[in-house]
Amino acid sequence: MASTKPNRLAFLSMPAPASYVAGLGRGASGFTTRSDIGPAREGPSAEVVAEAQARRGEEPEVDPEQFQDPDNEVGLFSGTTYEEDDEEADKIYEAVDNQLDSRRRVRREAREAEELAKLRSERPKIQTQFADLKRGLAAVTDAEWENLPEVGNLTRKKRKRDERTFVVPDSVLVGDREKNEYENSLDVRQQETGGFVTPAESGTLTNLVEIGQARDKILSLKLDQISGTSTTSGLSSSIDPKGYLTDLNSVVHKTEAEIGDIKKARMLFDSLIKSNPKHAPGWIAAACVEEHAGRMVAARKLIKAGCEQCPKSEDVWLEAARLHNNDDAKVILANAVQHVGQSVKIWLTAASLESDPKAKKRVLRKALESIPNSVRLWKETVNLETSPQDARILLSRAVEVIPLSVELWLALARLETPDRAKAVLNKARRAIPTSHEIWIAAGRLVEQQAIAESKPGDLDLVDRTIELAVRELKKHQVLLTREQWIKEAERCEEEGSRRTCEAIIKATISMDVEEEDRFDTWIGDAEAAESKGRIATARAVIAYALRVFPDRVDVWRKAAELEKNHGTAESFDAILSKAVHHCPQAEDLWLRSAKEKWLSGDVPGAREVLEQAFVANPESELIWLAAVKLEAENGEVAVARELLNRARTVADTAKIWMKSAVFERQHGQPETALKILSSALSKYPTFPKLYMIQGQIHQTAKDYPAARASFAAGIKRCPKDVTLWILASRLEEADGKSIKARSLLEKARLVNPANEMLWAEAVGVEDRSGVANQAKAMLARGLQECPSSGILWSLAIWAEPRATRKTRSVDALKKSADNPVIICTVARLFWTERKLEKAREWFGRAIKADSDQGDSWAWWLKYEREHGTPEHREEVIKGCIAAEPHHGLTWQSIAKDVRNAQKSTKEILELTAAALH
C-alpha cells in the first residue's frame, strides 16, 4: 500500500530559484576565487538581500551606533545634500555652545587657579623654595664669589680609573725571575757565623699582657696630668677624671633623621632671623637649635647677635644668661638692665646668680630703685632679711610705695605686735576697702588675741567683725559667692583659726539660697566639708542649720554622727542631750544617748535617760527593750523580767512578746517561754519568729513531733518566710529524714521562687548527705535561677578544682561585682595562693561593701591571726566592734545561740572565726 505522506526531501530534486545564494539565510554570501572554473561573479546587491529578507518576513538590522556621532551624518541624513540652511544652523549651534562655554569659563578658570595654588602650597617647586636665597645672592660681593670653593664630585659615582701605564723597573723583573730559583751553596757569612737565625731572646716574640699594662699606665698618667695630680707636670685642669668615662657615655649620638631635622630647623630659623632680625623669638629658637645640636659656641654667638638686634626683649637677655656660665651671665644681665631696666624677671635672675646674701640684697635694692612698685621685688627683698625689725622697716616702706598690695599689708601686720597690727589692718582697710582678705585677717587677729589673753568673751568680737566685713563689702559692691566664703572658712580652719571659720559660715552660709532649698543645701555643704577633712567647717554649717531647724531630727542625727566620727565622747553626749531635748519623739536619739552613757560606764545616767524617754514615749517598744537589755546586761534579771511584764501590758507588741520568750529561754525557763509563746501566738498568729522560737525549744528538748508541728503551723500561717522552711528542713535532717528535708525545700522553692537561701540550703542538704554530683547539679540550677547570688557563687567557686577557681571567681565578679560574699571569697582565694597583700586588700573591700556581714569580719580576723601582726588583728577587732554586724550565715547561728546570749561583739567574733573552715 502506497504511503500518503508528503516527501520532505522533494526540494532536493527541484531547480534552485533564480536569485538563490547558498548560506544567505544564515548570513553568509557566495563568493568565487580564481581557482574556480569560469569568471568570478558578484554577490547579491543590497536590494536583492532586502527583497529576500522581506519575502521571509525579516526586518532589516539597524546599527544602534550610527546615530551617536552628530558629525557623521549617515543613516537618516546620509542621502541628503549639505545646503546653506544646514551651514547656517551649524553656525547657530556653534554660537550657542560658545556662549554657554563663556559663562562657565570664569568659574572654571578660578577653580583651576585655586587648585593649582593649593598644589603649589602642598608640593612647591624647588625653584620656589630657594626664591629667598636667590634674592639674597644680590648682596654677595665679588670677593665672596672668588672665595667660593671648587665643586667636587658629589654624585657618589665611581670615577673612571686612570688608564695610564708606567715602565716596570728592572729590579722588579730580576726579583721575579729569581723568585723560584734554588740555592745550592752556602754564603761565606753563613759558614762563618753558623747561619742567619735570630736568637729567641732578642725580643721578637710579642708579650700582649705587657702591652696592655703599658697602655693602662699611659692612660693613667694622662688622666693624672689632666686633673693636675701628677707631680711631674705642673698642669692643672677642671676635668674630673672620675667622671671621664661617665661623660663619654653621656654623649648623645644623633641619628641621621635627627641630624636632618636639625639642618632643616637651622635653615628655617636662619631664614627667619635674616628676613626679620627684630623678631626676638626667632633668635631664641635658633640658639636653642644649636644648643640641641651640641654647638654651644654657635648658640652663644646667635643669642649675642639677638641681644644686639633686640635689646628691648627681656626673653633674649634671659636666654643669653642661661646659655652662658655664671660669671658671663652676670655681665650679660648687667648689660640687660641698661636696656630693659623695668624688667622684674631680669633683676630677679641677676639676684639668683649671686651666691652671697649681701650681694643679693644689693642687687634687689638696685632693682627697687628702678622698679619701686614691684610687689615681687619687695617680697624677695623682705625674705632675705633675717631680722624681723629690718623686715618690718622694709614692709613699712613697701606699703607706702604700693598701698594697694594686700599681701604686703598682711605681711606687715603679721610682723607687728597685736596692738600695732590692728592699726596696720585699719590703715590697710582704708587703703583697700574692697579686700575681704584684710577683714578676715582682722577677725583672725581678734581670735588670736582673745585666746592669748584667755578671754573667751572676746571671741564674740570675731562674729561682729566678720558680719561688719560682709556689710562693708556689699556697700563697696564686692559680692563674693557663698562657695568663695566657704573656701575662705576652710582656709581659716586649715591655718588654725576655727573661731573665724565659724564666724564666716555663720555670716555667709544663708547667702543665695532659696528658703525651700536651705536644708538640702546645708546638709550637702556639711558633707562636702567633712569629706575634705574640714570638720570645724562642717560643725559650723550643722550648728547654723540646727539654729534654723531645731526640730528636724535629720539635722540632729547628722550632728550626732559627725561628733561620733570626729568628736570626743563629751561632745557626742552633749549633742545627744540637746537632740532629745528638741526632738523628744525621736526614739533612736534617746537610745543612742542611753547607749553612750552605758558604754562610758555611767549606768545610772543611762537609766535616767531611759526614764525620760519613757515619759516622752510611753508606748515605744524600742525604749522598753533597751531598758530590759540594760538591766539584763548589768545582772538585774528580776528588774528586766518585771520590765518585760509591764511592756507586754503597756506596749503589747509582737516583738516584746518574742523578746520575753527569748529572755525566759536564755535564763533557763523553757516552760515559761512556751507559755508566753502560746499567749503570743493567740494574739499574733502571723508573726513567724514566735513559731521559730517555739519549734527550736521543742527541738532542743528532743521533742521532734512537737517541733515539727510548730514549724508546720508557722509555714501554714507564714508561707513566705524562708527561715521557717529552712528550720523545718534542718529538723527533718536532724531526725535522719533527708528525703523529707528535700521535699520541704522543694515546696519552699515553689512558694518562694528565686530565693538564694533556699537553693543554698538545698545544696547543703545534698552535700551533707554525701551526694556530690547531686549537689553540683542543684548548684547549677540555683545559679540559673539566681544568677547574681553571692552565696551560690561562693559555693560554686569552692566546688571547682583548684586550677579553675580563679576563672570561676572572674565569672562571679562579672555577674555581681559589689556582692560582699563574692569579694570575701576572692580574698580567700588570694589567701590560698599566698598573695597576702592582695588578700588583705580584698578583705577590706568586702567590709567596705557591707560592714554588717559578720562572716567577712571573722574571715579577716582568721587571716590576720595566721599572717598578720598584732596591730592588724587589733584593727580588725576594733572595726568589727564599731560596725556591730548582725548578718552572716555562721555569725547569726553563733550570735543567736542561747549559750552566747550575754557575750560581747568581740567574743562572738572570736567564736565565729574559730568556727569557720
User: What are the pLDDT digits (tens) for 602-655?
Assistant: 888 888 888 888 888 888 888 888 888 888 888 888 888 888 888 888 888 888
Q: Provide the CATH number for the domain around residue 840.
A: 1.25.40
Higher per-residue pLDDT: 397 or 859 = 859
Could you give the CA distance from residue 512 to residue 518 in angstroms, rounded to a whole number? 10
Mean pLDDT, residues 441-469: 81
Mean pLDDT, residues 729-757: 91
SS3 (DSSP) at 853: strand
Provide the domain count of the chain: 2
Classify burial at 106, counting beta carbons within 10 Å of its beta carbon; exposed 0-12, middle 13-18, buried 19 or more: exposed
φ, ψ at 202 (rounded to 5°):
-75, -10
Residue 294 within a domain? yes
Least confident of 66-70, 577-581, 688-692, 746-750: 66-70
* Contact criterion met (CB below 8 Å) for 841 and 815: no
- Domain limits for position 902: 818-916
Q: State residue 41's pLDDT score.
A: 54
What pLDDT digit, counting tens, does each position of 322-342 carry?
A: 888 888 888 888 888 888 888
* Contact criterion met (CB below 8 Å) for 794 and 828: no
Q: Taking 90 as the threshold, does the pLDDT of residue 759 lie above it?
A: yes
Q: State residue 726's pLDDT score.
A: 92
Residue 332 within a domain? yes
* Contact criterion met (CB below 8 Å) for 394 and 378: yes
- What is the longest distance spanned by two Cα atoms in the chain? 161
Could you give the CA distance from residue 18 to residue 44 in angstroms, rounded to a whole number? 12
Which residue, 372, 390, 405, sits at the end of a domain? 405
Q: Taking 60 as the threshold, does the pLDDT of residue 230 lie above it?
A: no
SS3 (DSSP) at 887: strand
What pLDDT digit, counting tens, does each position of 803-838 carry?
A: 899 889 999 988 887 889 999 999 999 999 989 999
What pLDDT digit, counting tens, does each position of 97-125 carry?
A: 888 777 777 788 888 888 888 887 788 77
Residue 292 within a domain? yes
Q: Provide the CATH number for the domain around residue 306.
A: 1.25.40.10
Q: With the CA atoms of 61, 64, 69 and 74 taken in that order, what torsion angle do they form, in degrees rounded to the nearest 10?
A: 10
Could you give the CA distance from residue 290 to residue 302 in angstroms, rounded to a whole number? 9
Could you give the CA distance from residue 529 to residue 490 in angstroms, rounded to a whole number? 8
Residue 693 within a domain? no
Residue 308 within a domain? yes
Q: Which helix (H) or strand (E) holds 625?
A: helix 621-633
Q: State residue 233's pLDDT score.
A: 41
C-alpha distances in angstroms, 318 versus 311, 330, 333, 492?
11, 11, 8, 39
* Contact criterion met (CB below 8 Å) for 330 and 353: yes
Q: How is residue 409 written as a grid cell?
A: 599689708
SS3 (DSSP) at 817: coil
Least confident of 11-15, 502-506, 592-596: 11-15
Cα angle 903, 906, 912 (rounded to 5 degrees) comes to 85
Could you give the CA distance from residue 439 to residue 469 in angstroms, rounded to a whole number? 6
Place of cell 568565487: 32
Which residue, 343, 377, 405, sits at the end of a domain? 405
Q: How is residue 347 written as a grid cell?
A: 633683676
Mean pLDDT, residues 262-274: 84
Helices (H), 479-599: 482-494, 498-508, 518-531, 535-548, 553-566, 569-582, 587-599
Could you give the CA distance from residue 302 to residue 110 in angstroms, rounded to a whole number? 45
Mean pLDDT, residues 296-325: 88
Q: Taking 50 as the threshold, does the pLDDT of residue 22 lie above it?
A: yes
Q: How is residue 904 written as a grid cell?
A: 560581747
Residue 77 within a domain? no
Question: Highest-confidence range of 156-170, 208-222, 397-411, 855-869, by mean pLDDT?
Answer: 855-869
Q: 428: alpha, beta or left, given left = phi > 0 and alpha = psi -120 to 50?
A: alpha
Which residue, 386, 405, 424, sits at the end of a domain? 405
Residue 330 within a domain? yes
Q: Taking 60 as the threshold, does the pLDDT of residue 234 lie above it?
A: no
Q: State residue 179's pLDDT score.
A: 62
SS3 (DSSP) at 72: coil
What pLDDT digit, counting tens, does each position of 762-775 carry?
A: 999 998 888 888 99
SS3 (DSSP) at 902: coil
* Contact criterion met (CB below 8 Å) for 805 and 797: yes
Could you give the CA distance from residue 129 to residue 872 in angstroms, rounded to a whole number? 74
Q: Taking 60 as the threshold, does the pLDDT of residue 241 lie above it?
A: no
Classify burial at 40, counting beta carbons within 10 Å of its beta carbon; exposed 0-12, middle 13-18, buried 19 or more: exposed
Question: Who's near 706: CB < 8 A, 6+ residues apart?
Answer: 698
Residue 371 within a domain? yes
Instruction: State the helix-helix crossing angle for 654-666 and 637-650, rounded to 10 degrees.
Output: 160
